[in-house]
Structure 1
């Protein structure tokens, strides 16, 4: 029998993992209220679902967004909602802009930005690291990759926030504001795409316009859609990863001391945070036929949420999963998805988190939260601190 859980309750947003544990014990498939969407939370079921694009379509992203919030250039029309074979063609094109060599070349600039952000607050006894650190770093990196000038960064962030709000499952935000941001985004970047078509530059938009696989190129609309995906995949989730790492370090000062003494542990720290506090808590799929998961019937057309964060806390895959341990084997965690839809931006997110942590740990000897309770965002889709006031000891 499919169990029903209210995921809009405040205690769920504060600590979704206790509820995820209940859900895994209760049923292979659960119904999430108030949306009525179905969810899968056990590790093996989530893994199997992510590897089955034939029966679980990515059009679930489109169907999950309220009709009044759907608009051209929104996440509802991006590469993340495409299925094979079209998805493979487009992924092959955009992958050319995310090669390991391209990402590695960004490290000096990421380190420079990180130093500037940390030094800007280094003299303050108290700082608010969401606005001062975790938001600006990925926003600046993605904006510069796209050739967005500093004068448009505030707009860039607002468009990103409003795009995420359409996927929150709980709080859709101001409908008029979300649509307005989508229109502004489309207007601005449509103009930038046409400029690059006439006069290519050394930026990601130009690379995407020039990319070619088997004689095929991306259309202007496809580039626009991919840029919108970057707003979330390359901006919001990286902000969340860095923020979640800082929250976890303030909860585990002994880990802060260990990693500060041995910075080579930072990549392990990042991987354990990805498992323990997954930035993307869930993603969306839609069934293409009637089928069963764990003995539960799923009708054709059902929106199903693979709960990545639940799978990453499944005791059948990760022993003692609620214990934070940077020395555990995190191989197989699903924070970036799996298979053909594995996150293209994963190497960039890992690099940004690694570099920022290296800079912070070299500058600060300790971190302490000012507020005992973490103010988490109201989204069930993204796990991230809304604010994070810290005392930093230099």
Structure 2
């Protein structure tokens, strides 16, 4: 069995840090799956895996071969120590402390009204740009809705001041830039570490005040939560809120933008969703497969592991290319086609650990906020479809994706009404 380093160089495959890759990663993903399913990337000091079967295996980790120790350097400098870095009983207890807010009655009764209200408020502002008396106009769904909606929802859930939206958005943008700093740019790293200090200075006093004066919000619930005699410290709560803001803001932002970019590019599927809002789940699931918000997730090997194409030594970083795995022709028929009616993707399980796609990861570190994202997307997409009749791209406009670590349309410019 050859090791990854033994695979000959293939000059016609662009580097994943190249401008060509950033412009359109999907042909590169295809070439990697076919020719270099396991690639040692010198600049990233990481093994890169691109096939569905390998990424699924890393995430499910039935062999206890993969850890999240990489988050010690990838997340902790900007968030502090998070639940993603924990394992065993410590991880199980921390997840039990935070998970109830993101599922079942808490999500439906306490936070769904928050989601619905924030969607209405943003759409009302968006419609202020309509031509007077016509009900028609133009809008950028990214700037006017997608980038603001999830951050406002999270701020409301935590009982924070939405007037600080600009701060929250700046912080999570800095954190995402840190996570995607694959070339080790020192300025990006320094900005991420400043964000941790600024967010702590903002949040710790709020957490301490909420312990003394609890309310009916998620932050108060986190302060009071207890499992097996364990409670979260101020630092634990701050780190979780930082993670929630960055992960929940960035991914839902890009998911909503991508759903509309995909549906507007396929008018017959958009018409089907308009006619049957139950299809929003299918559109979201297919968007997570076809254009996932997060294209890369890393793990670290606890022991030597053999994957397609070679062997990875113990203690190595492994970069899982979700954007590639979700377009693997060995797993999906016609993988480069957006099709909300495809039969090889199950929308009923798309937001659970039994998902067919890999956008939320799998296994014990499956995204705790998946059902919150589903609620936000279902509500936001449904309300936008209702409020913006006959929505279509502005004349001559074609959406352009940007990003390497996370990816989505930088704008989605639409015209609506007559």
* TM-score, normalised by the number of residues in structure 2: 0.87
The verdict on how the C-alpha distance between 1:373 and 1:138 changes in structure 2, with shifts beyond 3 A counting, is same
Q: Is 1:367 aligned to residue 381 of structure 2?
A: no
Match of 1:244 in 2: 258
Match of 2:248 in 1: 234
Structure 2 unpaired stretches of 5+: 131-136, 347-355
Mapping 1:9-48, distance limit 5 Å:
9-32=18-41, 34-48=43-57
Match of 2:124 in 1: 119
Give the secondary structure class of the aligned counterpart of 2:341: coil
In the aligned structure 2, how far is the partner of 1:383 from the partner of 1:393? 29
In the aligned structure 2, how far is the partner of 1:269 from the partner of 1:309? 17
User: Which residue, 57, 60, 64 being the options, matches 2:67?
Assistant: 57
Q: Following TM superposition, by how much is the alpha carbon of 1:256 offset from its aligned partner in structure 2, in angstroms?
A: 1.3
Q: Following TM superposition, by how much is the alpha carbon of 1:215 offset from its aligned partner in structure 2, in angstroms?
A: 1.2
Give the secondary structure class of the aligned counterpart of 1:196: helix
Q: Is 1:108 aligned to residue 122 of structure 2?
A: no
The verdict on how the C-alpha distance between 1:64 and 1:181 changes in structure 2, with shifts beyond 3 A counting, is closer
User: Which residue, 91, 95, 99 being the options, matches 1:87?
Assistant: 91
> What per-residue deviation string (whole Å, max 9, x for no partner) do you get for residues 330-352 of structure 1?
13111111111110100011111
Q: Following TM superposition, by how much is the alpha carbon of 1:234 offset from its aligned partner in structure 2, in angstroms?
A: 1.4
Match of 1:273 in 2: 287
Match of 1:135 in 2: 147
User: Which residue, 376, 383, 386 being the options, matches 2:410?
Assistant: 386
In the aligned structure 1, how far is the partner of 2:305 from the partner of 2:339? 37
Structure 1 unpaired stretches of 5+: none
Match of 1:341 in 2: 365
Match of 1:313 in 2: 327
The verdict on how the C-alpha distance between 1:393 and 1:19 changes in structure 2, with shifts beyond 3 A counting, is farther
Is residue 36–residue 309 contact of structure 2 (8 Å, CA) maintained in 1?
no
Q: Following TM superposition, by how much is the alpha carbon of 1:323 offset from its aligned partner in structure 2, in angstroms?
A: 1.0
User: Which residue, 144, 163, 172 being the options, matches 2:175?
Assistant: 163
Q: Following TM superposition, by how much is the alpha carbon of 1:376 offset from its aligned partner in structure 2, in angstroms?
A: 2.9
> What per-residue deviation string (whole Å, max 9, x for no partner) do you get for residues 32-79 of structure 1?
4642321212111111111117221111223446xxxx63xx246221
Matched length: 387
CA root-mean-square deviation = 2.1
The verdict on how the C-alpha distance between 1:381 and 1:81 changes in structure 2, with shifts beyond 3 A counting, is farther
Where do 4+ consecutive residues of structure 1 move more than 6 Å?
none
Q: Following TM superposition, by how much is the alpha carbon of 1:170 offset from its aligned partner in structure 2, in angstroms?
A: 4.0
Is residue 371–residue 389 contact of structure 1 (8 Å, CA) maintained in 2?
no
In the aligned structure 1, how far is the partner of 2:265 from the partner of 2:57? 33
Is residue 181–residue 189 contact of structure 2 (8 Å, CA) maintained in 1?
no
User: Which residue, 203, 210, 214 being the options, matches 1:200?
Assistant: 214
In the aligned structure 2, how far is the partner of 1:374 from the partner of 1:101? 38
In the aligned structure 1, how far is the partner of 2:139 from the partner of 2:198? 32
> What per-residue deviation string (whole Å, max 9, x for no partner) do you get for residues 181-212 of structure 1?
22110111111111112221211111111111
In the aligned structure 2, how far is the partner of 1:270 from the partner of 1:232? 20
Match of 2:314 in 1: 300
Match of 1:147 in 2: 159
Q: Following TM superposition, by how much is the alpha carbon of 1:109 offset from its aligned partner in structure 2, in angstroms?
A: 2.8
Is residue 64–residue 303 contact of structure 1 (8 Å, CA) maintained in 2?
no
Give the secondary structure class of the aligned counterpart of 1:226: helix
Give the secondary structure class of the aligned counterpart of 2:87: coil
Q: Following TM superposition, by how much is the alpha carbon of 1:180 offset from its aligned partner in structure 2, in angstroms?
A: 2.4
In the aligned structure 1, how far is the partner of 2:94 from the partner of 2:41? 32
Bigger Cα displacement from structure 2, 27-36 vs 201-210: 27-36
In the aligned structure 2, how far is the partner of 1:224 from the partner of 1:201? 17
